[in-house]
A and B are shown apart, each in its own frame.
Chain A
Amino acid sequence: GAVVSQHPSWVICKSGTSVKIECRSLDFQATTMFWYRQFPKQSLMLMATSNEGSKATYEQGVEKDKFLINHASLTLSTLTVTSAHPEDSSFYICSARGKIDYEQYFGPGTRLTVT
């Protein structure tokens, strides 16, 4: 149980375009989902917290108008990188938290390359 999927697993896009990444909890309802970004040889940095049916909470320094998060259901959250730039190239990982415990279940990640 507690499987989280992400789609796509990798994507290459041109500078200035937008990219949407989906995060789904497959066998449980996720009240909260988290979006992380990881640059090479660095740790995971929390970008935002997404609660079902409400606006996402962004960490300091993360532009909410650039990284649009939607959590329309208990099993799906999406991250849209708008007007992507090469410096947005990174490994984006989502995680989902169930209703009971503190554990977060991580998706497999999405590697974004902006050319």
Chain B
Amino acid sequence: GQNIDQPTEMTATEGAIVQINCTYQTSGFNGLFWYQQHAGEAPTFLSYNVLDGLEEKGRFSSFLSRSKGYSYLLLKELQMKDSASYLCAAVSNDYKLSFGAGTTVTVRA
């Protein structure tokens, strides 16, 4: 089975940095995705990690440690538009995505 854990909510101020942690336990692992989802909309792709290490893409970075079953998404220079739900999802050998419950990030002025 799959078990994906991430915090429920996080709040930060505009311009700050926030780190969203995700731990996973899966039977068969082929990488980890991070998605952003605004209310009432479908998820949009942010990052994909399959090897250990940090992937940087503009203001967003994602880290993976396969041995620890751990990933994080780092959001820098927060903007109001970054207020959304962030979903961690592990992909298994059969290409299925198992999603965490999502972390709601609220950015305050």
Contact = CB atoms under 8 A, between A and B. Distances in A.
Interface residues of A, number: 21
Contacts of A105: 45
Main secondary structure, interface of B, reads loop
* A contacts with B: majority SS: strand
Q: Interface size bucket, B side?
A: 20 to 34
Contacts, number: 50
Interface in B43-83: 43-45, 48, 50
Contacts of B45: 103, 105-106
A1 B99 CA distance: 24
Nearest to A104: B97
B101 A106 contact: no
Interface string B10-38: 00000000000000000000110101000
Given A106-B44, A109-B41, A109-B42, A44 B99 contact: yes
Interface of B: 30-31, 33, 35, 40-45, 48, 50, 87, 91, 94-102
